[in-house]
Structure 1
Amino acid sequence: MLLIPCPWCGPRDEAEFRYGGQAHVPYPQDPGALTDEEWAYYLFFRDNPKGPFAERWNHAAGCRRWFNLTRDTATNEIRPGTAAGDGGTR
């Protein structure tokens, strides 16, 4: 099990959280102008690195807030994050 550090509630068991995918994926500026292929790329294509990866998490069983953190996908080492929208992970 992972021990995920919520910026507001402190470290909690991963069962309290919901994974929100890759962090820092910008929403299209003009969504109406996108082709079906461009929409598919925006919705479904994400990075899948081996190593540090910026992720979004929601503390569903706690404060219910969204935040970003960096998790190493090879070792599951987690670096504390920031509130979603606060300029990214640290």
Structure 2
Amino acid sequence: MRIPCPYCGPRDSSEFSYLGDAAPTRPDPAAPGAEDAFFDYVYLRDNPAGPLEELWFHASGCRQWLKVLRDTRTHLISGAVFARPKAEVAR
């Protein structure tokens, strides 16, 4: 599987570390019910079949986090962008 890094160009997936679904956001630890929210955040994840935006870290390249749109049924990658806005990306 080749991942199109916006900085380095197309690279083999072995250069990347996979984190998972890009949608979940970390709960506020000071909010009421934080313990239940953290349990859900850590342990309860969907496993959709089809297009999914995922987080990948280019460990053997530019060392940037990417959001990669990948179809979980076919592993077809439709594109990749930096996970942070370009102005925040340190090169």
Q: Which TM-score band applies after superposition, normalised by the shorter structure?
A: 0.7 to 0.9
Instruction: Kindly provide the CA deviation profile for residues 3-51 of structure 1, in whole angstroms up to 9, marking residues without a partner as x.
Output: 11111101111110000111132222x3223342221101222221111
**Counterparts of 2:66 and 2:74, CA distance in 1:** 21
Residue aligning to 2:29:
31
Which runs of no fewer than 5 residues in structure 1 stay unpaired?
A: none
Which runs of no fewer than 5 residues in structure 2 stay unpaired?
A: 86-91
**Counterparts of 1:22 and 1:84, CA distance in 2:** 12
**What TM-score do you get using the length of structure 1 for normalisation?**
0.83
Percent identity of equivalent pairs: 46
**What TM-score do you get using the length of structure 2 for normalisation?**
0.82
**Counterparts of 1:45 and 1:10, CA distance in 2:** 34
2:3·2:80 contact (CA, 8 Å) conserved in 1?
Answer: no
